Amino acid sequence: MRDGTHQQSNGGQSAPSLTESVIKTAIAWRIRLESGLAQTSDKEACRHWRDADPAHELAWQRLGKLDSVFHDAAGKAPALARTTLHRTDEERRRLSRRQALSVITGSALGLSSLGWLAVDQGLVQRLDADYATRTGERHQYLLRDHSRLWLNTDSAIKVRFDDSERHLHLSRGEIHLHTATDARPLQVHFPQGSLTTLGTRFLVRRERQHTLVQVIEGDVTVRPRLAGSPAQVKGGQVFRISDTGLTAVDGRRFDYSAWVDGIFSVRNMPMAELLEELSRYRTGVLRCDSRLEDFLASGVYQLSDTDLALEAMARSANAEVRYFTRWWAEIVPLGNA
């Protein structure tokens, strides 16, 4: 699995905003030019489109960064499809055939998956972001105000600074931010509301229906979208944010910020939940036998090698890892037929 932490400085210039229409057009041009059927006129027309607007060129350049994903996965799709579809029997009753197909197409970012490319919201969010990571990646950035920003796996964020305010828009995934001292307030925006701070360390994590906020140092002011008044979150506290309020979270079972150090730390977490967390760092399907779902696991695991982490989790439950494909793994009791 791909994993790494890098540092990059941001010059501070705001990039053009990318609309979904621009992103889809960039995808269509790249597909046409890589189809093997493109004519000289197609290449010239694409160049004119790119030159017509800075946003067009930005979308093209960002899409080009995904080329390795396109090429690496394209050749794997047919074999993966055959193997995976043959495995979707009653034994895997909780994974529908439609879900299995989405795994296949999600791993095959070549020309055979044009429909997925056209509608996948994650791709749109990453291309429209100032900073983004793919599944399994972790990056570190130095912002122009000297704040330090960490992006966790499969994350995307827009940065907008001006003379009076600093704004971060978390489109997907998770960030850890160590803010620099600055007279301008810093705001982080997410679907359920926003938070404001002047100088502190905190984590913001997008979830399916909520956003989780953990404050490590200092305090932040959280404003749920539909709540009448803001709330203070202090150092050491973890809250889950909804549209209407905050709910305290027990941070002792799972160390939400450990990924910054490249580790995955849990205490008495049910195996099913543990695997759901680990699956954020690898492509494909990750499950456990129903008999192991409630097993309480504890440990510290390295995110740099999720296969080794899986093996260690299985050993703690007197179980083993069974691979049905490279992208489909299941923890089962030892000796399970």
- With a CB cutoff of 8 Å and minimum separation 6, the contacts of 174 are 151, 152, 153, 155, 203, 204, 205, 206, 259
Q: Quick one: how many helices (H) and strands (E) in the chain?
A: 10, 20
Q: Virtual CA dihedral for 106, 108, 111, 116, nearest 10 degrees?
A: -10
Angle at which helices 20-33 and 54-64 pack, to 10 degrees?
60
The string of pLDDT tens digits covering residues 240-269 is 999 999 999 998 899 999 999 999 999 999
Q: What integer pLDDT is reported at residue 335 of this predicted model?
A: 80
Q: Are strands 285-288 and 328-333 parallel, antiparallel or unpaired?
A: parallel
| 334 neighbors 320 (Cβ within 8 angstroms) | yes
Q: What integer pLDDT is reported at residue 18 of this predicted model?
A: 76
Q: What integer pLDDT is reported at residue 58 of this predicted model?
A: 86
Inter-CA distances, 241 with 54, 191, 229, 257, 266, Å: 36, 10, 13, 17, 22
CA separation for the pair 160, 158 (Å, rounded):
7
Provide the residue type at 294 as one letter.
Answer: D
Hunting for tokens 């609309």 — which residue is that? 19
Q: Note whether 131-253 and 262-333 share their fold.
A: no
Question: Which residues in the chain show pLDDT less than 70?
Answer: 1-16, 35, 65-121, 337
Domain at 262-333: CATH architecture: 3-Layer(bab) Sandwich (3.55)
Q: What integer pLDDT is reported at residue 36 of this predicted model?
A: 73
Listed by start position, the domains of the chain span: 16-79+112-128, 131-253, 262-333
CATH of domain 131-253: 2.60.120.1440
The string of pLDDT tens digits covering residues 93-148 is 444 444 444 443 343 334 334 444 444 567 777 777 889 999 999 999 999 999 99
3-state secondary structure of 183: coil
Terminal CA-to-CA distance of the chain, rounded, Å? 28
Nearest CA to 142 out of 156, 159, 125 is that of 159
